[in-house]
Structure 1
Amino acid sequence: MMAGGTFSAIEHIFPKNQKFLSGAFSRLTKGRLWLQVLIAMVLGIGTGLLLNPDTEIVSRPVAIGIGEWLALPGNLFLAFIQMIVVPLILASIIRGIAAATDVRQLKSTGVGLAFYFVGSTIVAAALGVAIGLMLTPGNYVDRAVVPVVELTGQVAELAAQGEAKAAKPFSLVDIPTGITELLPTNPLNSIVSGDMLQIVIFSIVLGMGLLSVPPSSSKPLFELLGSVQEISMAIVATVMTFAPVAVFGLLAQAMIKTGPGILAGLAAYAAVVVLGMALLLVFYLITAAVLGGRNPLEMLRAIREPFLLGFSTNSSAATMPVTVKTAEEVLKVRPSLAQFIVPLGATMNMGGTALYQALATIFMAQLYQIDLSTGVLMALIATTVGASIGTPAVPGVGIVVLASVLSSVGVPLSGLALIVGLDRILERFRTSLNVTGDLVACVVMDRLVPASVSRESEISSAAQREHIHETQGEDVVISS
């Protein structure tokens, strides 16, 4: 009964495509926000090094005070993005489910995505471990300065959250309980606490439930979620105009606290991370060629806009409308797949994050001269994959994930203070890689997942509905 009701509802109700929200970002892409962010990075690093107490231009208390004020716009920027991402993800996933053409396609896409997300994340984490072991970035940092740097302020709080997540030892007996706890018994509590994995599961269950009732009953909620989407993206687009100022202040504060003494060693670490990201990008392009049948160079040109926007916004959730638009209009992916895969990928497909967490853990272990056995390395990969899937698609949460991974393999957390400033830069690269992974998932699923209607028929029907959306001003169309 439910399956039949679901099939009928999918045929009859069509929320407005998320790609229509991409217009709010047009001025950001045309204004080359990514270039403004790069310039702000350089100016922030230079200002921070100039004001660092080691230069003796200002005293340490004055320098720290200036750093706090410079970082204020950046902290407000992060707070706004973190505030808006939960309702945005919730609304996007639920409305994305309604884009499916039939139940079989929805099930096939879900199973295929699960294998793709887990498989690609494992490859990314293993790549991070391999690069860290081969290039040993931790050996380039002067260990004499490591004990001087301590965790303070927000970094200490975030690290404590991550350490608490990894405090409970793993046991096979806990697996059934852990599986049960994935279901949010209190969805509001999951939303308040920001548990993204539970939020995603709740969104999928609610979306499927909405498709099992008559369209006239589900339409009001779909329209409400559409308003939430539109308002959220309007806020994000406005906040993003201040991204260069935010980046400048956060990096300036980080350099004031860190100083030039370990800059050369951290530069070597950053170079290794960027190299790892480049290799992961190559892996994604090869995957798109082998499984998706796409020319790597053409694929690279096609993803340029969302890639740069991901670097600028530092949030794959904020980039979703542009990512969906690129998938549909440039890569010619079925609209039903693009609208379903991209919102899920923004929270569950974190290849760039997994590579970074694994590589950063190897770096910290080398920094403190801790030998990690083969068993621990395997556990590191598994922990990194688990920690990355369901990570909020917002800037600043990488420290929480990294702290939990470090604690799980017995690496001290004090070294986090050394790389927290650098993390402001590197997390932009991993966001761009996360967005790339979502687009690759779209082209792979588009080729491998069967559908009950032809591509041409689906695209034609989607174009007709888009015309109705635009001419009649309807957010949700009920059609027979």
Structure 2
Amino acid sequence: MALSPINRLYEQLSGLVEGKLWVRVLFGLFLGIGVGGLLGPSAEVVSPDVARMLTSWLALPGDLFIRMVQMIMIPLVVASIIQGIAGQGDRDQVARLGARVGLYFIATTVGSIVIGLAAALLLRPGRGASLSVVATSPATPASPTRAADVPALISGLLPTNPLASVLAGEMLSIVIFAIIVGAALVSMARERAEPVLSLMFSVQEICMTVTKWAMKLAPYAVFGLMARSISASGLAVIASLGLYILTVLASLAVIMAINAVLIGTLTSIKVRRFFHASKDALLLAFSTASSAAVMPLTMKTAEDKLKVPSEITRFVVPVGTILNMNGTAAYQAVATVFLAQVYGLNLTIPTLALILVTTVAASIGTPSAPGAGIIILASVLTSVGIPPDGISVILGVDHLLGMCRTSVNVAADLVACALFMGKKERTEGEAGETGATPEVASVG
């Protein structure tokens, strides 16, 4: 029997992991920092014009990598969601799982933002920061009345023109469209839905092939992007942003600790076994800084190593890749408060509430491609009166932090799969490893 595209890409990605892809990526990361420092303005080895020309060529693999991931992200997410919903043909399962997954993702996103806000307010990384802010526009305090009309926001999530949403890159609308199509296919006769499912299978296989090609560029992409970033910003930017980096990493560490508690208390999976089973996916997520690129490996990790049923993983992981961005949410909260402190903006309770609301809206639907978080951050900054030009202050360390928050995003997707696995499946999974006979239990 032919392997599915998910299984096929899993074998290919596993080969990359076994071939120490992450080691080569880390080597490229540090080599890029060193080369970027030599080409930076402080080293005075080459002129700024020559440095820009050299780093633009060095960053070419990185630009190609990002564009390849962005190119296949939408068709891969749409095909995977439709396959995950309609592949099993269980209407009750779709209705029950969909509502619970959506509420869980919103709750974890809000919790991650609160963690990021608390860490930034406690550590105050922007207080007294001696940074050269490129932006000249003054910060203006935001008013809660600037928040979007909630009913209009909700109705606007339903795309009137799916093709226009694809062209605009409106990921949340695209996900909703894919869920509706999948639910419609479930309600149809199987023989009528089969041609569409076969097409989605072929789309998946095309996307998996392109993803495999993109993975080959990962070490060179990281090297070039870091060289260009450090060359433009200078090594001093890492030292000057040290407390900011520490605040983001502390927030991500708290989220990972909470994930460990959820696994240890709400599932029958041992915490140590969970992280051991997940290490390949987390390392590859760190290497590529793209949860979309690692999505097939994430699904196969959940199915083969955590024993989560495929009908759960094929729905939870693709949707989680777009909606369950815990690391990104915490990062955007920390970055917003940091820049507010740099600009001297007074953060009142209403302003913090506005940051929470806008960050939830921005995080849910953030494209899961390298560098997308920094783009979405601009909308959050604008909503609270911070000039988007302030992003230039943190741009030099964004890729490094992006690698870290992507690992947290992927870990959150795997945790969600484990939590939504029914009691029966958990028991059977544990029995499969120990050889014991599973007890009969109802699916939760």
TM-score, normalised on structure 1? 0.83
Q: Return the match for 2:98 from 110, 121, 124.
A: 110
Change (3 A) 1:117 1:454: closer
1:224 maps onto 2:199 in alignment: yes
**CA–CA distance in 2 between the matches of 1:27 and 1:142?**
46
Q: Return the match for 2:239 from 264, 275, 278.
A: 264
**CA–CA distance in 2 between the matches of 1:417 and 1:378?**
25
Q: Return the match for 1:66 from 54, 68, 71.
A: 54
1:146 maps onto 2:133 in alignment: yes
Q: What runs of 5+ residues in structure 1 fail to find an aligned partner?
A: 1-14, 152-165, 461-480
Which is further off, 301-310 or 290-299? 290-299
Which is further off, 297-306 or 225-234? 297-306
Change (3 A) 1:346 1:65: same
1:27 aligns to what SS in structure 2?
A: helix
Cα offset for 1:20?
A: 4.4
**CA–CA distance in 2 between the matches of 1:296 and 1:60?**
50
Counterpart residue type for residue 73 of structure 2? V
2:346 aligns to what SS in structure 1?
A: coil
Matches within 5 A, 1:163-202: 169-171=146-148, 174-202=149-177
Cα offset for 1:456?
A: 5.3
**CA–CA distance in 1 between the matches of 2:162 and 2:9?**
27
Q: Deviations over 1:218-266 (max 9, x none)?
A: 2122111111111111111111111111111111111111123433122
Moved over 4 A (4+): 453-457
Q: Return the match for 2:41 from 34, 41, 53.
A: 53
**CA–CA distance in 2 between the matches of 1:52 and 1:140?**
25
Change (3 A) 1:414 1:60: same
Find the counterpart in structure 2 of residue 156 from structure 1. Answer: none
Find the counterpart in structure 2 of residue 474 from structure 1. Answer: none
Q: What runs of 5+ residues in structure 2 fail to find an aligned partner?
A: 138-142, 433-444
Contact 1:302 1:330 in 2 (8 A): yes
Q: Deviations over 1:103-146 (max 9, x none)?
A: 22222211111121011111110000111111122236423x22
1:38 maps onto 2:26 in alignment: yes
Find the counterpart in structure 2 of residue 465 from structure 1. Answer: none
Q: Return the match for 2:305 from 320, 330, 352.
A: 330
Q: Deviations over 1:26-81 (max 9, x none)?
A: 22111121121111111111111111122222222222222222222211211111
Cα offset for 1:19?
A: 3.9
Counterpart residue type for residue 34 of structure 1? W
Q: How many correspondences in the alignment?
A: 423
Q: Deviations over 1:9-36 (max 9, x none)?
A: xxxxxx9583443122122111121121
Find the counterpart in structure 2 of residue 82 from structure 1. Answer: 70
Higher RCO (Cα < 8 Å, 6 or more apart): 1
Change (3 A) 1:350 1:256: same
TM-align CA RMSD:
2.5
**CA–CA distance in 2 between the matches of 1:103 and 1:212?**
7
1:124 aligns to what SS in structure 2?
A: helix
Contact 1:384 1:405 in 2 (8 A): yes
Instruction: Give the percent of matched residue pairs that are identical in Structure 1 and Structure 2.
Output: 42
Contact 1:99 1:340 in 2 (8 A): no
TM-score, normalised on structure 2? 0.89
1:128 maps onto 2:105 in alignment: no
Find the counterpart in structure 2 of residue 276 from structure 1. Answer: 251
Contact 2:336 2:381 in 1 (8 A): yes
Counterpart residue type for residue 330 of structure 2? L
Which is further off, 303-312 or 15-24? 15-24
Q: Deviations over 1:144-183 (max 9, x none)?
A: x224x799xxxxxxxxxxxxxx9x9325xx3332222211
1:95 maps onto 2:91 in alignment: no
Cα offset for 1:365?
A: 1.2
Contact 1:250 1:421 in 2 (8 A): no
Which is further off, 122-131 or 309-318? 309-318
Q: Return the match for 1:444 from 419, 424, 443.
A: 419
Counterpart residue type for residue 21 of structure 2? L
Find the counterpart in structure 1 of residue 329 from structure 2. Answer: 354
**CA–CA distance in 2 between the matches of 1:176 and 1:87?**
29
Contact 2:5 2:205 in 1 (8 A): no
Contact 2:281 2:301 in 1 (8 A): yes
Find the counterpart in structure 1 of residue 343 from structure 2. Answer: 368
Counterpart residue type for residue 310 of structure 1? A
**CA–CA distance in 1 between the matches of 2:242 and 2:428?**
50
Contact 1:100 1:340 in 2 (8 A): no
Contact 1:276 1:355 in 2 (8 A): yes
1:146 aligns to what SS in structure 2?
A: coil
Change (3 A) 1:66 1:207: same
Cα offset for 1:196?
A: 0.6
Find the counterpart in structure 1 of residue 439 from structure 2. Answer: none
Q: Deviations over 1:263-305 (max 9, x none)?
A: 3122332222122211110011112222234322222212111
Q: Deviations over 1:366-419 (max 9, x none)?
A: 222222112211221121111111111111211221111111111222221122
Find the counterpart in structure 1 of residue 440 from structure 2. Answer: none
Change (3 A) 1:16 1:219: farther
**CA–CA distance in 1 between the matches of 2:300 and 2:329?**
26
Q: Deviations over 1:336-387 (max 9, x none)?
A: 1111111111111100110000011111112222221122112211211111
Contact 1:140 1:265 in 2 (8 A): no
**CA–CA distance in 1 between the matches of 2:300 and 2:354?**
38
1:238 maps onto 2:213 in alignment: yes
1:29 maps onto 2:6 in alignment: no
Counterpart residue type for residue 260 of structure 1? L
Change (3 A) 1:177 1:231: same
Q: Return the match for 1:400 from 361, 371, 375.
A: 375
**CA–CA distance in 2 between the matches of 1:196 and 1:254?**
27
**CA–CA distance in 2 between the matches of 1:150 and 1:65?**
27
Find the counterpart in structure 2 of residue 205 from structure 1. Answer: 180
